[in-house]
Amino acid sequence: MSCGPVCTNLGLKPGQRLTVKGKIAPNAKSFVFNLGKDATLVGLHFNARFDAYGDVNTIVCNSKKVEEWGAEHRETVFPFQRGGTAEVTFGVNQNDVTVHLPGHQFTFPNRLNLCVFDYFDAKGDFTLQSLSWE
């Protein structure tokens, strides 16, 4: 999976939001956004799968502590299109992260009890066009 930008020292705390905008490759299989403390403590692994790892048009979320993955969470609402644009906003709360998609939102628990989300990376069939936080 190709690697995109990596951001550190974001300092996202409860009440703040991170918005990711970009372009999805025309032949996309999947793309990933990781949000956490660093690359080894990932509070939210967001994987949009067009056709990858046995999933079709499914969003799979998880968390990772060092090399140990948690239980996968699957969302069947899939608002992404190959060759299209994407906008995803992550709202950081005390006990979870709210994921805002076009026409849909869901929450994912803060399993690692992170007080601050300092790390973000984007991987896969996605070209990052803008990253903003408030």
pLDDT value of residue 79 = 97
Angstrom distance (rounded) from CA 66 to CA 99: 23
> Considering the entire predicted model, what is its pTM?
0.96
**5: pLDDT confidence band, cut at 50, 70 and 90?**
confident
**2: pLDDT confidence band, cut at 50, 70 and 90?**
low
Q: What is the pLDDT of residues 26-79, one digit of tens each?
A: 999 999 999 999 999 999 999 999 999 999 999 999 999 999 999 999 999 999
Q: What percentage of the chain exceeds 70 in pLDDT?
A: 99
pLDDT value of residue 55 = 96
> What contacts 106, CB < 8 A, 6 or more positions away?
75, 77, 98, 99
Angstrom distance (rounded) from CA 63 to CA 71: 8
Angstrom distance (rounded) from CA 102 to CA 51: 20
Domains of the chain: 3-133 (2.60.120.200)
Identify whether the C-beta of residue 94 lies closer than 8 Å to the C-beta of residue 81.
no
- Residue 101: pLDDT above 90? yes
Chain-wide mean pLDDT for the chain? Answer: 96
Is the pLDDT higher at 32 or at 2?
A: 32
Identify whether the C-beta of residue 46 lies closer than 8 Å to the C-beta of residue 99.
yes
Query: In the 8-state DSSP scheme, what is residue 94?
Result: S
C-alpha separations of 89 from 35, 54, 56, 105, 134 in Å: 12, 26, 22, 9, 11
**1: pLDDT confidence band, cut at 50, 70 and 90?**
low
C-alpha separations of 114 from 16, 38, 53, 111 in Å: 14, 11, 28, 8
